Amino acid sequence: MSEQTTGAQFRLGVGASEDWRMAVDGCLLQLMPLGEAANVGFVYVSDRMAERLPQILKRLSEATGISDMVGACGYSIAAGDTEYCDEPVVACLVGAVPEGSAKLFRRPSERPQGWLGVVHADPQVPALPELIEDFAEACGAYLVGGLIAARGPRPQWAGSLTEGGMSGIVFSQAQPVLTALTQGCSQLGDTHTVTAADGNIILQLDGQPAYNVLRDSFSVQSLQDLRKLSNGLMVGLPVSGADRPDYLVRNIIGIDPQAGGIAIGAMVEEGDQLFFCRRDTDSAAADMDRMLADLKRRCGDRMPRGALWFSCMARCQDQFVQDPSELARIQTVFPDLPLVGMYCGGEIAQSRLYGYTGVLALFL
């Protein structure tokens, strides 16, 4: 990674109004006048304005002179130190990157080469985890981003309108970016080995009925007790080869005490490793503070010029409802950081689809 920064600080504009035109005008009042070097933009709008996304992006692009803009809609949007939940809002982050370092893509079949990609994806795309992995490998890029969590339409923008797939922007190594991921769950008990499975159904763990191992891990006696924990029943799938302990969280979607099996939101094979886990407020806060401290150390004497934040909807609704919020924690470590992003139905980091995580990207 280059040790150089690439210019002036990014600029953030936010406009909140039921009228999309007034919301865009609010953005532009904070963005303008732009420096001549500004050439990239990230735009996130409330899903209340999803149908107006083309008009919003065209207006912002024409007013700023920036054609390389990407964007998406969401139920909740992050801007600066504020989360806008179920509010009509337009948030736009613009900045300067080295000329020729950014390439838009409107569908996963377009595979621009680069080293970092910002990705927005529709959660209804078939075989999405495999698509993300294949795209990252084909581009040679580390990915950050998320799945759109919105009511109704889920439009995306990458220089023009696109829907129903995956779009975004890929940067070359000429633009330095630091990224990090923070988990929101804590492990319960030991790591187990899958000893019998059929697709996404785990029949045995460590030679024992999977249901029995699940029940013991959550220290309950019956299926009724497990149902009381239905929002917290999850498995962690360890990621091998990572530079620090890492895992993918998947929901438990079915339990069969008679057969002794459990179904999860992922395909498994005999020999795979997993553990049971739950969302945990204290561990989520501690891990986010760890992530931010590590990013601060990696920045050294360089100050980030702008940031993108992709976080799970469940984190903002369940885990960081009391001060300090996720965004407040970021601003404490990186004061006055221009930041924009969205709260997702799944987060993308490296080449994987995560859940209950936060992904931060810093432009240096």
Q: Which of 92-101, 107-116, 261-270, 274-283 shows the lowest mean pLDDT across its residues?
A: 274-283
Do you know the residue count of the chain?
A: 364
Rounded distance, CA 271 to CA 197, Å? 10
User: CA-CA distances (angstroms) from residue 295 to 181, 298, 341?
Assistant: 10, 5, 18
pLDDT at 2 (0 to 100) = 35
Q: Which tens digits make up the pLDDT trace of 141-198? A: 999 999 999 999 999 999 999 977 999 999 999 999 999 999 888 888 899 999 999 9
List Cβ neighbours of 189 (8 Å cut-off, separation of 6 or more). Answer: 216, 217, 275, 276
Could you tell me if 237 and 248 are in contact, meaning their C-beta atoms sit under 8 angstroms apart? yes
- For residue range 274-292, what is the model confidence (pLDDT) as tens digits? 999 887 788 888 889 999 9
pLDDT at 269 over 50: yes
The three-state secondary structure class of 181 is strand
pLDDT score of 84 more than 70:
yes
What is the distance between the alpha carbons of residues 236 and 169, in angstroms, rounded to a whole number?
A: 30
Q: Are 311 and 114 in contact (CB under 8 A)?
A: no
